[in-house]
Structure 1
Amino acid sequence: MNPWLTLVLVWAGAALAMAGLWAFSMKVRNVGYVDVGWAGLMALAALAVGAVGEGSPMSRGLVAMFGSVWGARLCLHLLHRVLNEEEDGRYRALRAAWDGSPAKFFVFFQAQAVVVALFCLPFIAAADNPVFHVGPLTVLAVLVWLGAMAGESLADRQLARFRADPANAGKTCRAGLWSWSRHPNYFFEWLHWFAYVLLAAGGGLFWLSLAGPVLMYAFLYRISGIPWTELQAERSRGEDYRRYQREVNAFFPWPPRKAATSTE
């Protein structure tokens, strides 16, 4: 299938799905479902692109596997949080700022459908690659994907264990990877997109694959990731989090500037 037609169809399907999810979220008063939907739609998009791509069967298969497993894991992780916790503080703040406007939230949900389409570009680039042989780039792509999946999963588990302990209420997690980066889950999510850059190497749409790491870095570091998360963390944890900001890198893992423990 023509890659641009694939992109339009992915966007259209995501827009319809997000419209339904918006209606459900307004009914249950929990906007956190938008993140669950985004991750799940990315998994479905990877499967769809792998099925209709015009590249080699192995290129398409790896895209389908990489994207669907990554998206499904993230979707289930976020769903567990949404089902077992109150609405994320970021969205409560947004609800207050918008006075709960359903129309504004509809636009917000539809914006996420556009983001699904944008992040589908690396899938399309890699699945369109007709050149495939098991060489250094392919091996590196697999290693990058495995490392990113392992790192993101570990960071999520470490944070979940910390938050599950009532004694840590109102405190900042400094356990494991969280002592080297304030957002190790975001870092490994960003790293994951380099797998598609490597898979797309040598293909005619290689340049599109660069949209993955470039856009993800922009969204996480400048737009909707770190800025929103840290603003909420400062509101809820105050000076404890500001001290954490002074001691630990925001994104790229690096030894802390000062010894820290997970009980601070």
Structure 2
Amino acid sequence: MNTFPTLLTLWLVAAWVMAGGWAWQWRKRNAGIVDALWAAGLGVAALFTALVGQGAPLPRVLLAVLGGAWGARLALHLWRRVRGEAEDGRYRALREHWGGHQGKFFAFFQFQAFLVGLFAVPFIAVAANAEGAGGWAVVAVLTWVGSVAGESLADRQLARFRADPANKGKTCREGLWRYSRHPNYFFECVHWFTYVFLAIGSPLAWLAWSGPVVMFLFVRFLSGVPLTEKQALRTRGEEYARYQRDTPMFFPWFPKHSREDA
């Protein structure tokens, strides 16, 4: 498998798909579709790299199954939110900041297409693993199961909280959200270690570290936590500021106060 042509193919396909997503958001005024397309794109990227890779069968099969299932679950979850809710506050803020400029939105969608290629790099490392990962394959599966289960649970807890009209304007402190302000992002980062373990023995194993490292940098410092918290402070003010003081930002730990004291 030639790394550059594979990544170029993934990027070009993602660029076309994101162009369609941009047109959809223009009609619907809902840019949240970009997140669902990003997740779906990476699920397809896992399947494609597993198919064209020249490594041992086991890591390639696990890449296809685990990467494809992760992408499908996340894409479906995000699509349900996009289809059933108003535009996410982060994107509403961008729309206001850009004055609805569709050229900037198009560039934003195309940047997400580039990110599909960037986050497919760990898949390349796994698909080139001729050694088969050995016992690390078991560690990879356990990591995937734990992280996807944790992220799915966090998503369900938040969805259930938001579905209750009595919670409008309030901050979810239930379940995993009591121990981290962003448990979904935490487990998302842990998920990317799956491919680090599957790539052990690959000549490109070092590339797999780009997954958890780049994901952590994005969600912690760029597009995830900062934008989400900024939007939460705009809409919930002191109520969310109190949550910030009481609850760890990223890594789960015990809150400073009980729920009743918060």
Q: Which amino acid aligns with 1:169?
A: K
Measured in 2, the distance between the counterparts of 1:23 and 1:81 equals 19
Q: Which one-letter code corresponds to 2:73 in the other structure?
A: R
- Separation in structure 2 between the aligned mates of residue 112 and residue 245 of structure 1, nearest angstrom: 29
Q: Aligned runs of 1:64-75 on 2, under 5 Å? A: 64-75=64-75
Instruction: Describe the superposition over 1:54-93 as per-residue Cα deviations: whole angstroms up to 9, x where unpaired.
Output: 1111111111111110111000000111111100111011
CA contact (8 A) 1:59 1:126 kept: yes
Contact 1:144-1:195 at 8 Å conserved across structures: yes
TM-score by length of 2: 0.98
Contact 1:90–1:229 (Cα < 8 Å) also in 2 = yes
Q: Following TM superposition, where does structure 1 have runs of at least 4 consecutive aligned residues deviating by more than 2 angstroms? A: none
Which residue in the other structure is 2:149 paired with?
Answer: 150
Match of 2:213 in 1: 214
CA distance in 2, matches of 1:141, 1:44: 19
CA RMSD of aligned residues (A): 1.1
* d(CA) in 1 for partners of 2:121, 2:18: 19
Report how far residue 258 of structure 1 moved.
1.1
SS across alignment from 2:237? helix
| Deviation for aligned residue 1:130 | 0.4
How many residue pairs were aligned?
262
Residue identity in the other structure for 1:89: G
Aligned residue for 1:55? 55
Report if aligned partners of 1:3, 1:53 keep a CA contact under 8 Å in 2: no
The answer to whether structure 1 residue 99 and structure 2 residue 87 are counterparts is no
Match of 1:253 in 2: 252
Partners of 1:8 and 1:204 in 2: CA distance: 20
Give, in whole Å, the separation in 2 of the partners of 1:196 and 1:133.
10
Aligned sequence identity (%): 57
Which residue of structure 1 aligns with residue 7 of structure 2? 7
- Per-residue CA deviation, residues 178-214 of structure 1 (Å, 9 max, x unaligned), is 0000000000010000010001011100111000000
Whole-angstrom CA distance in 2 between matches of 1:142 and 1:31: 33
Q: How does 1:1-264 map to 2 (within 5 A)?
A: 1-132=1-132, 134-135=134-135, 137-260=136-259
- Report deviation, 1:18: 0.5
Counterparts of 1:133 and 1:188, CA distance in 2: 23
The unaligned stretches of length 5 or more in structure 2 are none
Residue deviations 1:3-38, cap 9 Å, x none?
A: 221111111111111011111111111111011110
Distance in structure 1 (CA, Å) of the matches to 2:130 and 2:100:
48
Task: After TM superposition, give the deviation of residue 133 of structure 1 in Å.
Answer: 5.6
Work out the CA distance in 2 between the residues paired with 1:134 and 1:150.
24
Residue 2 to residue 163, structure 1, CA distance change in 2 (3 Å): same
CA distance in 1, matches of 2:81, 2:257: 31
Q: What SS is found at the alignment partner of 1:210?
A: helix
Instruction: Quickly say closer, same or farther: Cα 1:133–1:34, change in 2 above 3 A.
Output: closer
Q: Matches of 1:240 and 1:133 in 2, distance apart?
A: 47
**Which letter maps to 2:15?**
A
C-alpha distance in 2 between matches for 1:164 and 1:24: 25
CA deviation string 1:198-256 (max 9, x = no partner)? 01011100111000000000000000000000000001111010000001111100011
- Segment drifting more, 2-11 vs 101-110: 2-11
Aligned-residue offset at 1:134? 4.2
CA distance in 1, matches of 2:130, 2:150: 30
| Structure 1 Cα separation of the partners of residues 15 and 105 of structure 2 | 13
